[in-house]
Amino acid sequence: MYCHHCVRDFSDEAIFCSQCGRRLHSYKILQVDENAIWPGEQMEGAASLEVISVRNDIQRIAISGEGSVIQSEAMQSKKNWIMPISLLCLAFIVTASVFYYFQYEKNINEDVLNLQTEAKTAALGGEYKKALDLLSKAAKVRPAFAPIKADKDIIQHVIEVKLIADDVEKQLSNNKIKDAEAGVNLLRSELSGHKEPIYDKLRERLDALQMKMTIQQLQKQLETLVTVEEHADMLKVVNGLFGEEAIALKDRVLVGIRKLTLAEVEGLLKRKNFTDALSVVEESLFLVKGDADLTSLMKRVEDEQKRYEQAEQQRIEQAMQRAAEEDLINQTAAVEVVSTDHTLDEFGDLTIVGVMKNAATRPIYEVKVEFTVQSMDGEVFGKGSASATPNYIEPGEQLSYTATIYGVNTKDVVVVVDHATWYLD
């Protein structure tokens, strides 16, 4: 059996030609004879002509004796130009289809990527709703594109974290430090492990909220501090903080250090303890290097110490002078004559009663006096000595003595204490 178009043989059960693809007519060539009856003669149209043409070719081949070799060459000749053309057409169609599909998909992908880029830009600028709308639009075109879903999840998380940060800021504004601290811990936990750039602003905000919370905690704690050392410990913490509130808190800590230092120094100055006062100021200056108020306080302490030392030196010198004077008095003029009375009895004897005072700065005892009785003109009538009583006399106390000079015979005399001796206690 042969195809009526390309004269290719085929099996009995074949419906289409394996060479040209045409539908086959199931007619068998029983013999090559010019008298043979060809069914194709009864056919109409192009199919009939083709069958008749084939029949004539077969008859020609049978008569000339060329046989199957000529038939094979004819079939091979048709194969040589039909197959390449068919494959070329098919390749062109497939290539054009693939190219069109590729361009179509490429354009869609570019649109999706552009939407994703715009969404990222909006999200980084804080426009989260706009970013979600753009991503939703991209997801409608590419619902299975995983990065779009991942970006949407991140933005939703960022919105949630932002709400937490807003709540923390509200708590801090209302001075609810404990609630704010719980919120800060939650915020820190939510941001943990997220390194995406969209979280940068939230991390900065977390740092700012933590600093604000720390400052409020320190401000509350500052009210309970009572020593310079406690203020110094807080100052170390405050020095690591930034911002206007941190600067204001630092100023308050410094004011506290100055006040406490001044109060302690004032107490030491009252006791004239200049060494400890200087030490206190030096410790405070070590904590607050270059502080003008503390430097001024240091100069004040030094000036007062210098004035005190000068005054003390003068006092010592004066005391030494007074001591020398007192010692001289104690040694040479411890006994001062207060009064002297005398009476003349009928026998012409003169009785003398003298009153003296301890002019020394120390107690004296065993006082003895030597005296002379003389006339108004200086004529000596007699001399004598006597022991004073009491035997022990405190500074400023009086003592007295009594003596008798015999044979004076006149009461117009003068009693002069020539010398006195005593012992200093």
Per-residue pLDDT for 425 more than 70?
A: yes
pLDDT for 306 beyond 90: yes
Rounded-to-integer distance, Cα 295 and Cα 292, Å: 5
Bridge partners (DSSP) listed for residue 303: none
Domain shared by 299 and 343, yes or no: no
How distant is the alpha carbon of residue 293 from its chain centre? 27
Q: CB within 8 A of 234, min separation 6: which ones?
A: 218, 221, 222, 225, 253
Cα 233–235–240 angle (5° rounding)? Answer: 110
Distant-in-sequence contacts of 281-284, Cβ < 8 A, 24+ apart:
283/228, 284/228, 284/257, 284/258
Partner residues linked to 380 by β-bridges? 374
Could you tell me the pLDDT band of residue 33, with boundaries at 50, 70 and 90? Answer: very low
Please indicate, yes or no, whether residues 342 and 413 belong to a single structural domain of this protein: yes
285 in a domain, yes or no? yes
Is 59 part of any domain? no
Q: Which amino acid is at 315?
A: R
Tokens matching residue 324: 């020398």
Distances (CA, A) of 135 to 123, 126, 187, 199: 11, 15, 26, 18
**206-227: per-residue pLDDT in tens?**
888 888 888 888 888 888 888 8
Q: Mention every residue, 6+ apart, whose C-beta is less than 8 A from residue 187.
A: 161, 164, 165, 168, 202, 206, 209
- DSSP-derived letter for residue 19 is T
Residue with tokens 């006082």: 367
Q: Are residues 298 and 339 in the same domain?
A: no
Looking at the predicted structure, is the pLDDT value of residue 34 above 50? no
The most confident of 13-22, 101-110, 174-183, 297-306, by mean pLDDT: 297-306
CA distances in angstroms from 35 to 38, 60, 62, listed in the order given? 9, 13, 13
pLDDT the model gives residue 62:
41
∠ Cα 59 61 62 (to 5°): 65
Provide, rounded to the nearest whole percent, the portion of the chain with pLDDT above 70. Answer: 81
Residues 346, 290: one domain?
Answer: no
Q: Name the residue with higher pLDDT: 77 or 289.
A: 289
Mean pLDDT of 100-116: 70
Q: In whole angstroms, how far apart are CA 228 and each of 163, 256, 257, 290, 391?
A: 41, 8, 5, 17, 62
CA dihedral 148, 149, 150, 154 (to 10 degrees): 100
Reported pTM: 0.48
Count of domains in the chain?
Answer: 2
Has residue 246 been placed in a domain?
yes
**Would you mind telling me the total number of residues written for the chain in this entry?**
425
pLDDT digits (tens, 9 = 90+) for 361-415: 889 999 999 999 998 888 888 899 999 999 999 999 999 999 999 988 888 899 9
Position 318 in a domain: no
274 and 346 share one domain: no
Q: What is the CATH number of the domain that holds 413?
A: 2.60.40.10
211 in Cβ contact with 241 (< 8 Å):
yes
Q: Which of 250, 285, 305 is the last residue of a domain?
A: 305
pLDDT band at 46 (very low <50, low <70, confident <90, very high): very low
Q: Can you give the residue range of the structural domain that contains 371?
A: 333-424
339: in domain: yes
What is the model's pLDDT at position 370? 92
* Domain end marker among 286, 305, 324: 305
CA distance readout (Å), 316 to 181, 321, 371, 403: 65, 8, 39, 44
User: Do residues 282 and 343 both lie within one domain?
Assistant: no
Cα distance between residue 327 and residue 329, in whole Å: 5
* Cβ atoms 56, 64 nearer than 8 A: no
Is 348 a member of any domain? yes
The more confidently predicted of residues 40 and 244 is: 244
State how far the Cα of 259 lies from the Cα of 99, in Å rounded to an integer: 85
The pLDDT, as a whole number, for residue 353 is: 93
Residue 417 lies inside a defined structural domain of this protein: yes
DSSP-derived secondary structure letter, 40: G
With a cut of 70, say whether residue 278 has pLDDT above it.
yes
29 belongs to a structural domain? no
Q: Calculate the average pLDDT of the chain.
A: 80
pLDDT higher than 50, residue 58: no
- With bands split at pLDDT 50, 70 and 90, how would you rate the model's confidence at 7? low
CA distance 382 to 27: 204
Based on the domain organization, do 365 and 410 belong to the same domain?
yes
